[in-house]
Amino acid sequence: MMKDMMAGFELFQPADVETALELLDRHGAASWRLAGGYDSLDWLKNRSKQTRAVVDLERIAELRGIRESGGGVEIGALTTLTEIETSQLIRERYGLLADAARKVASPQIRNAGSIGGNLCQDTRCWYYRYGVKCYRAGGNTCYAAAPEAMNREHAIFEASRCVAVTPSDCAPAVVALDAEMVVRSRAGERVIRAADFFMPPSIDIRRMTVLEPEELLVAVRLPAAWAGASFYFEKVADRNVWDFPLVNVAAAFRMDGATVADARIVCGAVQCTPRRMAAAERLVVGRPRTEQVAESAGAASAAGAEPLAFNAYKVSLVENLVRRAVRGAQTSEPA
């Protein structure tokens, strides 16, 4: 359980990506990448996770910045959430991500927290984080799935032994934008679709992303195809400041006049990975964003939900958030 103390580790502070990759390669699974540190320091202090080597990325200038690239935009993984939320380039072309970044935690945390850290953070399930030996922690049961468990914040879709959810506000946004994640190791670079970056528990229950121990997320690329689309982001949480989502929705619509030419609708905090609402997307493409279409999309988005003892309210939240996204209320239009 909570220990409120850290075990000893060796701290490395590389000044360039190559040195960081060499350190990650050398220490492998015993290494820990440190970005803003808000999630990492809690893990090292409060739970039985330990590491022999912390690789602090703070000094690596090439991991920061927002720049145009190939008709789209590339964001360095250490770029702060505040920089993303206030960037004129992001706000004009990809307001969905600016809106999502603005909803993360508090201004103080956004000033230091990075886009890479937000996307790669571990789940907030308290059974797991406070040291219970659940499936995700190498045990043989999911305590949050028990009928009497505290599971109001847990998954309603695609649970596979583990019912923990992704806590990231930016994750649904990058999936909705068809972003690409640029990942580097000493062996080279690979580019991963955002939808494939997050790890389902059915494949590897002990990881939230596909990153290997020796790999580093160096950038997020937003494609030109979704620049200037019609966007919608909304987050429902117990508190408006600092809190993690109960459910959030990120939606992008390419319009042909009054008709939806293409759509991406993604919900977070409903399963371990950001969930594409594919049935809802199919319903809206080729149709106007009318009340009738919104109602149909909302109903379709909840199909297949399997709520736990205390989170059935999430089914209605998903339906209503998808309806609101399709209607377009408070949508972020290009500036």
| 259 DSSP β-pair partners | 256, 288
pLDDT for position 335: 38
Per-residue pLDDT tens over the stretch 291-326: 999 999 999 999 999 999 999 999 999 999 999 999
Residues 266 and 148 in one domain: yes
* The pLDDT of residue 272 is above 90: yes
Query: Is there a domain that residue 1 lies in?
Result: no
Please return the burial class of 148, using the count of CB atoms within 10 Å of its CB with bins 0-12, 13-18 and 19+.
Answer: exposed
CB of 125 closer than 8 Å to CB of 151: no
- Provide the 3-class DSSP secondary structure of residue 108: helix
What is the SS3 string spanning 291-316? HHHHHHHHHHHCCCCCCCCCCCHHHH
Q: What is the DSSP letter of 47?
A: S
CA 63 to chain centre: 19
Domain count, the chain: 2
- Provide the 3-class DSSP secondary structure of residue 267: strand
Range of the domain at 47: 8-57
* The pLDDT of residue 332 is above 60: no
Tokens representing 206 are 């002990």
CB of 265 closer than 8 Å to CB of 176: yes
Please return the burial class of 4, using the count of CB atoms within 10 Å of its CB with bins 0-12, 13-18 and 19+.
Answer: exposed
Per-residue pLDDT tens over the stretch 143-202: 999 999 999 999 999 999 999 999 999 999 999 999 999 999 999 999 999 999 999 999
Residues 70 and 196 in one domain: yes
pLDDT for position 330: 47
Residues 278 and 329 in one domain: yes
* The pLDDT of residue 8 is above 90: no
Average pLDDT, the chain: 94
User: Does the pTM of the predicted model rise above 0.85?
Assistant: yes
Average pLDDT, integer, range 66-92: 97
Residues 18 and 128 in one domain: no
User: CATH number of the domain that 52 lies in?
Assistant: 3.30.43.10
